[in-house]
Structure 1
Amino acid sequence: MIPSNAIQITPEILSLIAGIDEFKGAWRALGTLAPDRLSALRRVATIESIGSSTRIEGSRLSDRDVERLLSKLQIKSFATRDEQEVAGYAEIMELVFSSWQDITLTENHIKQLHRDLLAYSEKDAWHRGNYKTSTNSVVAFDEDGKQLGVVFATATPFDTPALMTELITWFNDESDSARFHPLLLIGIWVVVFLEIHPFQDGNGRLSRVLTTLLLLQAGYAYVPYSSLESIIEQSKEAYYLALRQTQGTIRSNAPNWQPWLNFFLRALAEQVRRLNRKVEREKLVLASLPELSLQIVEFVREHGRITMGDAIRLTGSNRNTLKQHLRALVEQRHLDQHGAGRGVWYELR
């Protein structure tokens, strides 16, 4: 499918891969973070990932809304399409985190993941788990969920089954041969998957779930602790531009993988940078913060934000003491302050 000379390895690509792999090795050696710290990091990253990935596709739920919804996930009843999509994404992410070793890259598994992704989406019941039957295109949305227009055309329903078989066979064969670095294979797999757009809906969300799955299988064990989806959401224009520039060439004799691979690897490098910063902050927090400040930081890490009312209920301390600690945490750049007066709240910097 992809000739061996079609992937141009530039100095920037080499440098990005080297930096990502250096952190991959360092993460394996990290024994300094307690399990509860890792659990809190993963929870925050998961909320960010679910919120961002669904908003890229037009959802209007904030991370705070997502957090509230996750707390009542067991009720299995969701009033709006946005809530249904968040619930499905949350469950499939948990499945990937817990069972990635058992999910081989096959058409059946991809279809099962698609079915589970849309399990609560009433509007999608007719097509979940099955390849598309009518033409679809990639559409961009703005921050208000309004459609901006078509980004690029996709494969026809007639061609889709054969193209998916070809793509999966290519990836598995190349993974076995180890000719290319795993990050290059994953990047190319994702961009071709999106160019095919095999399902009627849910392709963007599924592509990001599959990216996480393939990264975990390639040994990038830190992935659940830093949200790649939030980086993509914050770089949506560059994301769609890179997709368009590469996908317009995929079916030509000279596919141009560079725009997409550059974007993909830069996003992975930013994911590493953010997680490294969090880890360093964790070490600093453990080493230097007073107990009351540490309680506040742990609460924010677990819940995403804290108000004065939260802090009083959590610690039982008086308002003036808490003001001093919150002010110090802002000055020491552990927290960011938002709002004023009674509406003030704090989140991790």
Structure 2
Amino acid sequence: MLRVDTLRITPQILSLIARIDEFKGAWRALGALAPDRLSALRRVATIESIGSSTRIEGSRLSDREVERLLSNLAIRSFETRDEQEVAGYAELMDRVFGSWQDIPFSENHIKQLHQILLRHSEKDSRHRGQYKTHSNSVAAFDESGVQIGVVFETATPFDTPRLMSELVAWVNDEREKGQLHPLLIIAIFVVVFLEIHPFQDGNGRLSRVLTTLLLIQAGYAYVPYSSLESVIELNKEAYYLALRRTQGSIRTNAPDWQPWLVFFLQSLAEQVRRLEKKIERERIVLAALPDLSLQIVEFAREHGRITMGDAMKLTGASRNTLKVHLRNLVERGHLSLHGSGRGVWYEIR
């Protein structure tokens, strides 16, 4: 069983939890934006989360490419491994955001979520939704792709079912008792889940979606509007270092939870800081822009870009009037201009 009696609640950890919970409590007031503004924020955060989480695992698709792929998910045909991973991650996030209240935290549901994650991955068809049957220790590779050593030994396929059963039972017991702070429960779950590495593939991506699910279920309702995955991507080396430092001691008599807890809570605090900054920017935009300019900015934020033709259809204003508004938006730093001539388009900076 997990040894959490070695968990030290330091002033740093207390301060980070207080910071995150303060924002959680204030979200209803801070997030009092119009539904279409919240929808636009969520769309941007979702694109960032999908792009970052898949790139952490080796994908090369940019956020712009992810956005284009999401607009064509209905095609149900994806040529590359990267596209398959993005499509699965997008569908899983959509399921979590839409049905989080109806997803019990159980092994069966974790397996179902894994199946959705790898739904479009052809090479994973035999093992999606099932615990691993082969060793999947984390290895290091040289620049040519040749394995040069094992970085971390994960649980054996034989031990995985027992360890996952114990982990899920621990999470549910702690959530029911209410003695350990929810953020600490979630942090410990994530690091142990990745130490077990229960599935043949997709463990990192699934761990980040499960983090989102557990946070929303714990009342952190702002989570869909700011990407935690993008915070982790920008600090990927520190992410792996914190995981390894804690994971190496989990099965000992004195687990060192501190490295991972501090990184995890710092990442959540940065997620909050980013969202606060976005909300403040939204308020400034709302207060300072003319209605027509505001319509343009809202369209660009929701759809990823806007052209002159889009702006004319949206507002009914003349080309000359719109040129003035678009030029002012570029000069004031709200939009960036791309292309030339009739191919000009704009996106949010």
Q: Same fold (TM over 0.5)?
A: yes
Where 2:128 maps in the other structure, the secondary structure is coil
Name the counterpart of 2:74: 74
Which piece of structure 1 moves more, 79-88 or 4-13?
Answer: 4-13
Structure 1 residue 345 displacement after superposition: 6.2
- For 1:262, the aligned partner's letter is V
Name the counterpart of 1:160: 160
Structure 1 residue 333 displacement after superposition: 4.2
Name the counterpart of 1:88: 88
Q: Distance in 1 between matches of 2:24 and 2:127?
A: 38
Structure 1 residue 37 displacement after superposition: 1.0
- For 2:28, the aligned partner's letter is R
Contact between 2:305 and 2:346, CA under 8 Å: does it hold in 1?
Answer: yes
Q: Distance in 2 between matches of 1:16 and 1:147?
A: 40
Where 1:183 maps in the other structure, the secondary structure is helix
Name the counterpart of 2:202: 202
Structure 1 residue 54 displacement after superposition: 0.9
Q: Percent of counterpart pairs with the same letter? A: 75
Distance 1:259 1:184, change over 3 A: same
Contact between 1:7 and 1:257, CA under 8 Å: does it hold in 2?
Answer: yes
Structure 1 residue 312 displacement after superposition: 6.3
Question: 1:62-141 counterparts in 2 under 5 A?
Answer: 62-138=62-138
Question: 1:142-181 counterparts in 2 under 5 A?
Answer: 151-181=151-181
Q: Distance in 1 between matches of 2:144 and 2:310?
A: 31
Q: Distance in 2 between matches of 1:320 and 1:245?
A: 60
Q: Distance in 2 between matches of 1:293 and 1:138?
A: 50
Distance 1:256 1:71, change over 3 A: same
- Confirm or deny that 1:8 pairs with 2:5: no
Q: Distance in 2 between matches of 1:31 and 1:254?
A: 42
- For 1:114, the aligned partner's letter is H
Name the counterpart of 2:281: 281
Which structure 1 residue ranges, 5 or more long, are not aligned?
Answer: none
Q: Distance in 1 between matches of 2:153 and 2:318?
A: 60
Structure 1 residue 3 displacement after superposition: 3.8
Instruction: Give per-residue Cα distances to partners, 1:226-283, cap 9 Å, x unaligned.
Output: 1111111111111111111111111111111111111111111111111111111222
* RMSD over aligned Cα atoms: 2.7
Name the counterpart of 1:265: 265
Instruction: Give per-residue Cα distances to partners, 1:276-299, cap 9 Å, x unaligned.
Output: 111112222222201232123112
- For 1:251, the aligned partner's letter is R
Name the counterpart of 2:40: 40
Name the counterpart of 2:60: 60
Instruction: Give per-residue Cα distances to partners, 1:134-166, cap 9 Å, x unaligned.
Output: 110235799x99799754221111111111011
Question: 1:174-189 counterparts in 2 under 5 A?
Answer: 174-189=174-189
Distance 1:72 1:5, change over 3 A: same
Structure 1 residue 307 displacement after superposition: 5.8
Q: Distance in 2 between matches of 1:319 and 1:27?
A: 39
The TM-score normalised by the length of structure 1 is 0.90
- For 1:298, the aligned partner's letter is E
